[in-house]
Structure 1
Amino acid sequence: MNSFTATPWPKDRVMPARAWERPAGMRVISSDDHLIEEPGLWENRLKGADKDRAPKYWKDETGFHLEVDGQNYDVPGLPPTFPEGREGFWDVDKRLADMDAEGIDAAIIYHGRLNSLIRMQDKEFWYRCVDVCNEWAAEWKAAAPDRLFPVALLPTFLWPERTKDYLQKLKQLGYKAIDIPVNPKGVRYNSKDMDPFWEAIQESGFPVSFHIGAYLQYSGRGSLGANLNANLMPFTGLFGQLVFSGVFDRFPGLRVVFTEGGASWVPGTLENADKVARDYATELRPKLAQMPSWYWHNHCYTTFMEDDVAMENIARIGEGRVMWSTDYPHPEGVMGRSDVIMKRIFDTVGENAARKVLGETAAQLWGI
């Protein structure tokens, strides 16, 4: 009977002494880390009538909790202290100490609980909640502005005509990175109604990230594992939607990052998409200017934490199209094992490719 050793929860992980030193002059950038918003954020920052109805967000001995209009927004299935228990999640000094211990020079950092608010019914109010959170995160990075690069949630996918002005605000706040949900209810990214949205992003120069989310597709026995297994590899369909709808043909300057879904999905997806393009060429609308795999190698990137299959197939993925991350400080992240994984990447793909995977591509993509 097979057995395995359980990985400790983030709050219980001990940073070991580094067993491998990176080559001199190499800058390591984690392309997908996370921060948890400060308790009371919305109650303290919203103004006027919004303040009275602000999402309630607090921390107690059991963890972080979020409530909107009397409804509990905590993530089901896990005690909050398990996935959110690492102090560096909210204490920036301890975060920087953890980064130092693992040799992480800089990090692209996504929000924690903000994404849960997409369930709010009043979308104009939701927009204002996102806005104050983006303002807060822009202030948060001041603790180490050359190391911490928070990602702004772009809320205008519901109002494409607002996108250009909002992106200008994000630039003024000092942002380098933006993200949007994978599959927001009522939004079709392949619709021509979204063209002003994509045009504004292209014009801004921001790469746009799609980060995996928690979608509760399964219930009952084994549902936690089943949902996590599906949530962590969701991008095949989204890549096809963007390609086959002609988004990249219409907006040739668009750059897309598929975040935390690993990289081993890419070779099979590209092979299959190219086959679809050939086999159904007479019926596909719109007609594509290139094969689907061409759009990957000219527009797209993906991030991973530990993906030996991807590293063994890096020639198919593209050594400049894949970026490593720790996913700090989530349970599926690799905090505490970074040097082991970095060495394995070097041993598998060679130094030139490894330097790109571990930092150079991220630095170039986000201009950091």
Structure 2
Amino acid sequence: MTDQDRQNPLDPYLIISSDCHAGLPTERYRPYLDSRFHRQFDEFLGQAQARREESTRLGIRNDAFAEKWFHDNEEGLRGGWDAAQRVKELDGDGVAAEVVFPDADAVDSQTAAPFGVGLGLSGDQDPELGMAGAQAHNRWLADFVSEHPERHCGVALLPLTGEVDRVVAEVRRAKESGLGALMIPSMWVDKAPYHDRRYDPVWAAAAECAMPVVTHSGAAPRHEYGDHLGIYVSEVTWWPARPLWFLLWSGVFERHPGLKFGVAESGCWWLPNLLWFMDRLYLGAHGGKKLSPFAELKRPPHEYLDRQIFVCATNTKRRELAQRYEIGVDNILWGSDFPHPEGTWPDTRAWLKRTFHDIPVTETRRMLGLAAAEVFGFDTGKLAPLAQRIGPTPADLGQSADAAAQAAVEASWARSREVGRHWLTDHDFPVLGADA
């Protein structure tokens, strides 16, 4: 019997956001940072205004928007580092639990982790400073999530491209401190790419510690873009997705079947076509017949996706939900992006109603919380009373839980469900030719 079978269809949703953010105002990280790095930390703090001015010049920061954002949300934004305020904001949004990434302030970067190792974590950072900054944030985050451990899964920063022994030690230290997942750089830059066997001890440690490994949008080669903001926004979601195919085709998921890997805040609109393309190559489509067999893989890519890969699909879009039978319902983990302005907070309930109003209740429960609970190890039993108190009901989302109405909703999606991954089900929709 599944969680869905045991649940009354009228019950409120147990919502888990797979993508939220927290971080101290940057100067307050000092007590968590090894003292031998304090001089470099002071230099980093002294460059904050220059970084903000550069963001404004490049169009990444809008002065008028920033002024209004901070004025209108001053109290709630303290939830980026104040545990009591955070719980108040989560309750208001109907979110029972969350996965906590770094960098609460996505407008002025006033809560940047030391040395820029938060969402900008990258392989080109100084290895010593990178690990020092990551550990400072991880120490603070462990303290932060310990106040309500049943509601938070803290994501440890992991500068993966550094010395492997130190990286593995940080995986284990983060686990022991109470953190539950690992964020690795989206870009390795001039370091060994992720198909390199040097990283195998890290993948093994992550699997052993049951800590999902995730990438998150943010890092990108901005120096290549000049003043052309459109180039940045067109590519920024591509970089965190790129490690997926490096890990898959090099056999990392085959060698480490307990490893879970996810891509955060990059949408999931790109995944159906990518999966179609990769499956066809593996299964011997005409366009790939001249290639040698993919010896590192023992199964088609979609099986690794369903077994080990997930997408933290922040602020999930209607277009993406329409593709959920290709992506896999259990592979889509909704996120609010609290407290970033591009997310759904502080109007999450309204966002959910506009997005999920015609989605079957059983599928909605999976994407809004139950799938994330399984990936990140949340105890749904502990969260259930809270969800009963704060969670929106199906009716609140514009969904009727009446049996006849739900049957009609299920029927409206029956064709899409039947077609599913059309390259595997032999259905002729939406393909046009025999090689599709």
TM bracket, shorter-chain basis:
0.7 to 0.9
* Equivalent of residue 231 in structure 2, options 221, 226, 235: 226
Question: 5 Å matches for 1:1-368?
Answer: 23-55=10-42, 66-67=45-46, 72-74=50-52, 76=55, 77-78=60-61, 82=66, 85=70, 86-112=77-103, 113-114=112-113, 116-117=116-117, 118=121, 122-185=126-189, 186-215=191-220, 216=222, 217-220=224-227, 223-277=228-282, 278=284, 279-280=287-288, 282-283=291-292, 286-304=295-313, 305-368=315-378
Aligned equivalents of 1:241, 1:39: Cα separation in 2: 33
Distance 2:362 2:321 in 1: 13
The letter for the 1-side match of 2:158 is: L
Paired residue type of 1:170: A
> Does the CA-based 8 Å contact 2:34-2:132 persist in structure 1?
no
| Structure 2: 5+ residue stretches without partners | 1-8, 71-76, 104-111, 379-436
- Out of 138-147 and 315-324, give the one that drifted further: 138-147
Query: Are the equivalent residues in 1 in contact too, given 2:215–2:264 (CA < 8 A)?
Result: yes
Instruction: Compute the RMSD of aligned alpha carbons.
Output: 2.7
What's the offset of the Cα at 1:100? 1.5
1:16 corresponding residue in structure 2: none
Tell me if the contact between 2:159 and 2:185 (Cα under 8 Å) persists in the aligned partners: no
Rate the CA distance shift 1:254–1:47 in 2: closer, same or farther, 3 A: closer
Q: In structure 2, the residue corresponding to 1:190 is in which secondary structure?
A: coil
TM-score using structure 1 length = 0.82
Residues 18-56 of structure 1: per-residue CA shift (max 9 Å, x gap): xxxx94253111110111323423433334432233255
User: Greater shift after overlay, 288-297 or 224-233?
Assistant: 224-233
- Could you tell me which runs of 5 or more consecutive residues in structure 1 were left unpaired when the two chains were aligned: 1-21, 58-65
In structure 2, the CA distance between the partners of 1:102 and 1:265, relative to structure 1 (3 Å rule), is same
CA distance in 2, matches of 1:218, 1:124: 28
Distance 1:125 1:73, change over 3 A: same
Mark the CA change 1:25 to 1:121 in structure 2 (over 3 Å): closer, same or farther.
closer
Whole-Å Cα distance in 2 between the matches of residues 283 and 55 of structure 1? 54
Specify the code of the residue in structure 1 equivalent to 2:101. Y
Name the CA distance, whole Å, in 1 between partners of 2:239 and 2:322.
21
- Greater C-alpha Rg: 2
1: CA distance, partners of 2:164 / 2:302: 28
CA deviations 1:253-303 (Å, max 9, x no partner) are 111011111112111110011223324363355442111222111110002
Do the aligned partners of residues 258 and 302 (structure 1) sit closer, same or farther apart at CA in structure 2, a change above 3 Å counting? same
Q: Do the aligned residues in 2 keep the contact of 1:42 with 1:55 (CA within 8 Å)?
A: no
User: Structure 1 100/197 Cα, relative in aligned 2: closer, same or farther at 3 Å?
Assistant: same
Q: Which moved more, 1:234-243 or 1:173-182?
A: 234-243
Deviation at 1:150, TM superposition (A): 2.2
> Which amino acid in the other structure matches residue 245 of structure 1?
S
Report the secondary structure of 2:66's partner residue.
Answer: coil
Q: Distance in 1 between matches of 2:125 and 2:332?
A: 36
SS in structure 1 of the partner of residue 38 of structure 2:
helix
Q: More strand per residue: 1 or 2?
A: 1
**How many pairs align?**
336
Contact 2:17 2:369 in 1 (8 A): yes
Query: Aligned-pair distance for 1:89?
Result: 2.5
CA 1:286–1:161 in 2, change beyond 3 Å: closer, same or farther? farther
Structure with more helix by fraction? 2
| Counterpart code for 1:174 | G
Distance in 2 (alpha carbons) for counterparts of 1:166 and 1:202: 14
TM-score normalized with structure 2 length: 0.70
Contact 2:241–2:266 (8 Å) recurs in 1 = no
Q: CA deviation at 1:190?
A: 0.8
C-alpha spacing 1:344/1:164, structure 2 compared with 1 (3 Å):
same
Aligned-residue identity in percent: 25
